[in-house]
A and B are shown apart, each in its own frame.
Chain A
Amino acid sequence: MDEILRDFVVETTENIDLVDAELVRFEQEPGNREIVAQIFRLVHTVKGTCGFLGLSRLEALAHAAETMIGRLRTGAPATHETVSLVLEAIDRIKFIVAEIDRTAAEPGGDDAALIVALERAADPEPAKTQPDHPERALQDAPGPDHAPAVAAAEADSASQAIVSGIDLKRDTIRVAVSTLEHLMTMVSELVLTRNQLLDVSRRIEQPDYAVPLQRLSQVAGELQDGVMKTRMQPIGHAWATLPRLVRDLCQDLGKEITLEAEGAETEIDRQLLDLIKDPVTHMIRNAADHGIETPAERLAAGKPRRGRITLSATQEGGYIKLRLADDGRGLDLARIRRKGLALGLISEAELDSLSDGQAARLVFSPGFSTAETITSISGRGIGMDIVRANIERAGGAIDLRSSPGQGTTLVMKIPLTLAIAAALIVSSGGQRFALPQRAVVEVVRPRGGDARLDMLNGAAVLRLRQTLLPVSSLDTLLGLAPSAGFEALEHKFIVICQFENHVYGLAVDAVLRTEEIVVKPVSQPLHDIPVYSGTTILGDGTVIMILDANGIGATIDTLPDSDIGHATAKLHAPRDLAESATPLLVFKAGDDGFKAVPLGLVTRLEEVDAAAIERADGQALLQYRGRLMPLVPANDAVAPRATGIQPLLVFTRGTHLAGVLVDKIVDIVEDRLDIEPGGARPGYLGTAIVRGRATDIVDIVTLLPFLDESPPATGGQAGKPTVLLADDNDFFRALLAPVLKAAGFRVHLAESGAEALRLLAGHRCDALVIDLHMPGLSGREVAERLKSDGRHASLRIVGLSERGGVDQGLRGVAGFDDIIGKFDRQGLVASLSDLATGTGLAA
């Protein structure tokens, strides 16, 4: 295409976008001359230029439109019809320009009907318009300021257009995007070269180079920032067409909607601008179609007749927060729940425990669309799942809130730029990889304490505080190494990744550093590998792959040969599957019977050389990790071995450390714990059937009292706060009651939800600690009943969860003040600690 024509197309397209936004304002404020003048200038410029370029169809159309708009400009009233006509004319111009852009020639076709309509509108009987709007006539008529301008308008308009055009563009120039991309590439290379030089200078001391190198380094950095800035554009560019969209939607839907936009000047990488355009448009359609009610419905609901959609952008750190709110009817959560059930997204069992927030988020699930009939407005085959996918592809996140009758708010977080991202550089299988930092929660070593590796159904899982995460080794996933055994995993670093619905541990050989990486797309032959999201060049010039946390998560979930997927599924499975399943460490001590302790209490399993065991004052001791660890026999029948291998269970709590001597570590199993109270045998909680074998459950707290030590409680006996502990499981009641007592609480026990309610009615309690999942009345139901009953407004309710993160969503909803993992005794005490300080308890 010839250059003049190309310039014409680019400029006209831009101007049309600007005018589009203005047109809607014009309809709302028909008296606004400035807007009419702007529209007029556009049409006038188009007309003038296309005559010169020989675009006759466009010229005829622009001429007719110009005449009509000229009349508006000189004071003719803007009616709904005239505005629609102007819009139609602009649309037609837009279409023709788009065709010219595509084919470098005007498309065939006829605008006769439109031209006639425009001409008719431009030349109505004056008698008809004037009396209709006497006040306008008065308004416009005198205007000493306006009069000369209006009179000179026709003659002057051409020069006016040129002058204002120069005004607008005086300090900007148009640069091809490819030029900027090239600059960006060169700057990236400069930065890499600088990094290499710095690397060299660190190894070879050359004081002469130090100063210029530092200067080079600084300049290169500033240059990079500067070039990055050229890629930034106001986010409002993606919004320019929205006012028009809303106007058209109103007309199609018979609704009245105001669109308000804030923060249009917030700048964002132009690549991202393109990525968010479609999702935002789709969400506006949704809000107008499903969210905002008809004027009649709104009035009936006591709302203003006119609905409102608010779009706002703010910058927060390296992200842009985009908020889209409507004041419509809100999501129909009951219908979403039904639909989720029908689509198999949730099970019957989950239906009850699903919070409103979780239910609302179901609309992001693939294939979910709440509109039962697909309308032309929002049912275009793409749903919120696609919107979410687009936003997440751009490295962002999306969430929504909805309240019935009040409206729906969508919040999107989008990175400022795709081009540069913070990443963790890790090594695995002899290669390095970049893991985007936004997906990384933390890095742990599975060395006891909070993070321990377990085997579950033959798959490695990481027990991290209260959660159980599937763990996969990166080198195995990438086919660089055979499946890593438990032993091998223990020596690795585990990067905890969280992205979309996936939470998992990724085992790597080393975590090298974090680095700002320049993200480059993967080439076509590598597109189909789900575990990569891009490539980058490191400071030393090496090309490495950027890992896709989401793709890896999906891969882990579907690993065919391992049970990891199954194990994770089990974690998230409804209660009837995973009910009360407790990982237990089974061992033998003193006799042939099986004994067990909850694995969650054990820090580490060790097998040490018996010769290393020392003795002092009749106490067996072991040098262990630089400290002297006391060794306690599991029971009186166990004595430290003199020779051979001594198996040990290591327990830690704070600074305390102790080893429990056993004869043999048998197994780690996960099973339901149905403890039959063990009579009065000291040191045992009772007996349970574990994997079909009668197993004694050891009360490890009587053996190692330090496990129960808590921060010293304050407050006198009289002021002791009271806690009601409700759990159907004897084991947990037995485990937690002493903890709470030691922390300075008076403790009442209940075995069921119903019993808890009964006790609360008769006793004054400061806090209720209740198992979330109990047969009969569940913890959640109890909490909801209590909160709806005004008498218990000051009662602190803490839910006990075996499912860690899954239940965290209940915090703050359903009446729970806090949700704590069942094994997290410290967390439980901490959650109640402010009650124990004694202040505010007098009442």
Chain B
Amino acid sequence: MNAAHTDTMADATATTATRCEPPLKLVTVSVGEQRIGIAIDKVRDVFMAPVIAAVPLAPPHVAGLVNLRGKIVTVLSLRAVMGYAPDPAAQTVIGLEWHGEAYGLLVDGVGEVIDVAADGLEPNPPNLDGRWSALSAGIRRLQDGLLVQLDTMKLFQPPAGAVLS
């Protein structure tokens, strides 16, 4: 993955960014039609998980467990979190860490790493689906559409949990 996605919009924001704060790098992933950005400093790795061991009785957003080089990773399904039907073919996992435990976020696909301005985040529009707004740090306007920036911490915190269940 190279961090080379630049277009005029990104250029413009990057220029602004140099004035205020250093630009932010986001890993873009997709779930259904929606593009999502995850701050790159939250992402430990990106890996393919052809086999995910399901855990009976687990909450619906837990896709299962994966053995990643001897480490057990708890994989959460972003599709399930967002209320989409599960996609058995999905195997792209974004590695995250929370409280010292290894987590993975199962997504439909992963795109480029983009540079955005640290202050270019807009508040969630009021009509945003509750499931999205519960996890969203805010919305970014890109030239080719809107991007929801994921607040990964909210995946693990009670408010998100309440939405999940």
Contact = CB atoms under 8 A, between A and B. Distances in A.
Nearest to A532: B55
B74 A523 contact: yes
Given A185-B70, A189-B70, A537-B70, A431 B54 contact: yes
B56 A537 contact: no
B72 A535 contact: yes
B97 to A, nearest CB: 11
Nearest to B66: A543
A545 interface: yes
A478 B57 contact: yes
Nearest to B70: A189
Nearest to A432: B53
Contact of B67 (A523, A529, A537, A545): A537
A526 B70 contact: no
A28 interface: no
Nearest to B99: A524
A520 B71 CA distance: 9
Contacts of A189: 69-70
A836 interface: no
A545 B72 contact: no
Nearest to A545: B55
B99 A525 contact: no
A460 B72 CA distance: 36
A523 B156 CA distance: 11
Contacts of A478: 56-57
B65 interface: yes
Contacts of A429: 56
A763 B44 CA distance: 85
Interface string B50-69: 01011111110110111101
B57 A543 contact: no
A429 B64 CA distance: 16
Given A529-B55, A543-B67, 12 more contacts: A185-B71, A523-B74, A523-B102, A523-B103, A524-B99, A525-B74, A531-B57, A535-B72, A537-B70, A542-B51, A543-B66, A545-B56
Interface string B80-118: 000000000000000000110111000000000000000
A543 B53 contact: yes
B150 interface: no
B10 interface: no
A189 B51 CA distance: 18
Interface in B25-77: 51, 53-59, 61-62, 64-67, 69-72, 74, 76
A478 B69 CA distance: 28
Nearest to A478: B56
A543 B58 contact: no
A480 B58 contact: no
A651 B118 CA distance: 81
Contacts of B71: 185
A478 B62 CA distance: 15
A590 to B, nearest CB: 51
Nearest to A190: B70
Interface in A167-190: 185-186, 188-189
Contacts of A526: 55, 58, 62, 74
A754 interface: no
B135 to A, nearest CB: 15
A628 to B, nearest CB: 46
Contacts of A431: 53-54, 56
Contacts of B61: 525
Contacts of B53: 431, 542-544
B90 to A, nearest CB: 18
16 contacts: A185-B70, A188-B70, A431-B56, A479-B56, A480-B56, A520-B72, A523-B72, A523-B102, A525-B59, A525-B61, A525-B62, A526-B74, A529-B57, A535-B72, A537-B72, A542-B51
A253 to B, nearest CB: 41
Contacts of B99: 524
B55 A192 contact: no
B58 A529 contact: yes
Nearest to A521: B101
Nearest to B164: A525
A532 B62 CA distance: 15
A517 to B, nearest CB: 12
Identify which of A478, A480, A529 gathers the most chain B CB atoms within 10 Å of its CB.
Answer: A529
Nearest to B61: A525
A64 B76 CA distance: 58
Interface string A749-778: 000000000000000000000000000000
Nearest to B161: A525
List of 3 A-B pairs having minimum Cβ-Cβ separation, nearest first: A189-B70, A478-B56, A523-B74
Contact of A186 (B54, B59, B70): B70
Nearest to B76: A525
Contact of A479 (B51, B57, B59, B102): B57
Nearest to A555: B57
A185 B71 CA distance: 7
Nearest to A540: B67
A677 interface: no
A51 interface: no
A541 interface: yes
Nearest to B71: A185
A681 B14 CA distance: 104
B67 to A, nearest CB: 5
B65 to A, nearest CB: 4
Nearest to A192: B70
B65 A535 contact: yes
B70 A523 contact: no
B9 to A, nearest CB: 37
Contacts of A520: 72
Nearest to A186: B70
A543 to B, nearest CB: 4
B52 to A, nearest CB: 9
Interface in B100-156: 101-103, 156
A544 B66 CA distance: 10
A423 to B, nearest CB: 16
Contacts of A531: 57
A545 B53 CA distance: 9
A536 B66 CA distance: 11
Contacts of B56: 429, 431, 478-480, 545
Contacts of A542: 51, 53, 67
A520 B61 CA distance: 21
B57 A524 contact: no
Nearest to B155: A525
Interface in A473-500: 478-480
A520 to B, nearest CB: 5
A63 to B, nearest CB: 41
A386 to B, nearest CB: 24
A188 B64 CA distance: 21
A73 B65 CA distance: 61
B155 to A, nearest CB: 9
A81 B76 CA distance: 61
Interface in A505-556: 520, 523-526, 529, 531-532, 535, 537, 541-545
Contacts of A185: 70-71
Contacts of A192: 70
A524 B72 contact: no
Contacts of B72: 520, 523, 535, 537, 543
A14 to B, nearest CB: 24
Nearest to B74: A523
Interface string A456-478: 00000000000000000000001
A523 B99 CA distance: 10
Contacts of A532: 55
Nearest to A187: B70
A541 B65 CA distance: 12
A524 B67 contact: no
A186 B71 CA distance: 9
Contacts of A537: 67, 70, 72
A524 B156 contact: yes
Interface in A405-436: 429, 431
A520 B76 CA distance: 18
